[in-house]
Structure 1
Amino acid sequence: MSLNSLRERLIERLTPAGAWTPDGLPDRSDYDLNPDAPRSPRTLRPAAVLVPVIARPEGASVLLTRRSDTLASHTGQIAFPGGRLDPGETAVQAALREAREEVALDPASVEVLGVGDGYETVTGFLVTPVIGWLAEPPVVSPSPDEVAEVFEAPWDFLMDPANHRRDFLEPESGPRRWFWAMPWRERYIWGATASILRALHARLYGDEARPGAAVGEDAA
């Protein structure tokens, strides 16, 4: 069980990368918790993120970044490596390219296992999560213009619904905005990143009679 069972579960329950199409529709969105938020018709811009699952001997972990404080948007937020697709790119190609640019992750070290649920952001992106398997802990180097920090969070923590909580922002004008959050140590994982992880949990463990035990077996 453990790492082998997790890898097999990911392959079995993710959508094969070859089945991805650029005209897909989002399965989840920022609006799931905010159904009354204003929403105008628009064409979503395609983007992709890499969800790197690292097969550490002591248990699986997920590589995450903290965005640079000098960026024009989403400064300091916890994120996956990723960004918008270049013309003609697939989601896998974009996710691997962005991971190389942001943290110098070698694409050859990543085994792409599949893609998760497409996610619509309030900023107008359709984000495809590309789940990658790293058999060895990677050597990474953050690009200072984009990434302030690279760190790992334990798989079993991220996949435990007890650590998924609904938080909200109270803007000066407009309705309260709800979002998912998974605070881990001093890092506040929230928004689209937390929602993508929560959607991954639902896909992998949603039909398990004892999902906590299944997560524990995978992470051990």
Structure 2
Amino acid sequence: MAERLDPLAHRTVDQISSDFDFEPDPYFPPLDSLTPAAVLVGLIERPQGFSVLLTTRLDTLRRHAGQIAFPGGRCDAGETPWQAALREAEEEVGLAPDFVSPVGLSTPYRTGTGYLVTPVVAFIEAGFSLQPNPDEVADIFETPFGFLMDGANHETHERRLPDGGMRRFYAMTHDERFIWGATAGMLRILSHRLFGAPA
């Protein structure tokens, strides 16, 4: 596993993905107006293989309410994506930084809500404990890494927008959990970078 992920640390980002890869939006915010953010793509070694740490956001949050997401959030002034991802993971799920070992950065992802999100890939060592932040996180769970990286499990969905338009997006369904939008998009891009799956 480590040898498959190490090259991420040495790659230059040659593209930026977004919520609107299917249908480009002419009103999409320009790059220089986006708020930098980072998420932790935490890989945990289990007897059956690696799994990915994910959360379900509270239904009462102003943005992305009830969605499945990586721990993460906006970068504070002067923070690197790695520092922001570590800080946010500790704030959201109580993950102590001492248990997290960096691997590399995946492709930045623009969201329709105005963020430029850098996925930070890391291994989470055994012995950690988690505690959801009651103001942000409804649930913490793990999903098999192999399932998320398998292009056969990457679904395409459509939803009608309030203005009548149609939005297409990627999704992955595992154990009745619907992983979609930016989280699914970032996982699909990571799959493409690591294993050459179609993007």
TM-score category of the 2 structures, normalised to the smaller one:
over 0.9
Q: Which residue of 2 is the match for residue 215 of structure 1?
A: none
Gaps of 5+ in 2: none
Q: 1:15 aligns with which of 9, 16, 34?
A: 9
In structure 2, the residue matched to 1:216 is none
Q: 2:130 is paired with a residue of what secondary structure?
A: coil
The 5 A counterparts of 1:170-189 are 170-189=160-179
1:199 maps to: 189
User: Partner residue of 1:31?
Assistant: 20
Superposition map of 1:66-105 within 5 A: 66-105=56-95
1:94-126 Cα deviation digits (max 9, x unpaired):
000000000000101000000000001111111
Q: Report the CA distance between 1:11 and its aligned residue.
A: 0.8
- Percent identity at matched positions? 52
Distance across 2 between alignment mates of 1:128 and 1:182 = 20
Distance 2:170 2:93 in 1: 25
1:38 Cα deviation (Å)?
3.2
Query: Residues of 1 paired with 2:144 and 2:127: CA distance?
Result: 13
- In structure 2, the residue matched to 1:122 is 112
Instruction: Determine which structure has the larger strand proportion and give its number.
Output: 2
- Normalization by structure 1: what TM-score? 0.84
Please state whether the residue corresponding to 1:105 is helix, strand or coil.
coil
Q: 1-side partners of 2:106 and 2:162: how far apart?
A: 34
SS for the counterpart of 1:100 is helix
Higher mean displacement: 133-142 or 54-63:
133-142
CA RMSD for the aligned pairs? 2.0
Partner amino acid, structure 2, of 1:15: A
Displacement of 1:78? 0.1
CA distance in 2 between counterparts of 1:15 and 1:192 reads: 22
Q: C-alpha distance in 2, partners of 1:48/1:141?
A: 20
1:57 counterpart residue number: 47
User: How many residues are treated as equivalent by the alignment?
Assistant: 197
Q: Which residue of 2 aligns with 1:212?
A: none
Q: Is the 8 A contact 2:154 2:170 kept in 1?
A: yes
**Cα pair distance change 1:196/1:116, threshold 3 Å:** same
Q: Using a 3 Å threshold, how does the CA distance of structure 1 residues 69 and 137 change in structure 2: closer, same or farther?
A: farther
**Distance of 1:174 and 1:25 partners within structure 2:** 34
Residue range with higher mean Cα deviation, 146-155 or 169-178: 169-178
Q: Return the alpha-carbon distance in structure 1 between the equivalents of residues 123 and 17 of structure 2.
A: 23
CA shift at 1:182, angstroms?
Answer: 0.3
Give 2:158's aligned residue.
Answer: 168
Check whether the contact 2:39–2:117 (CA below 8 A) recurs between aligned residues.
yes
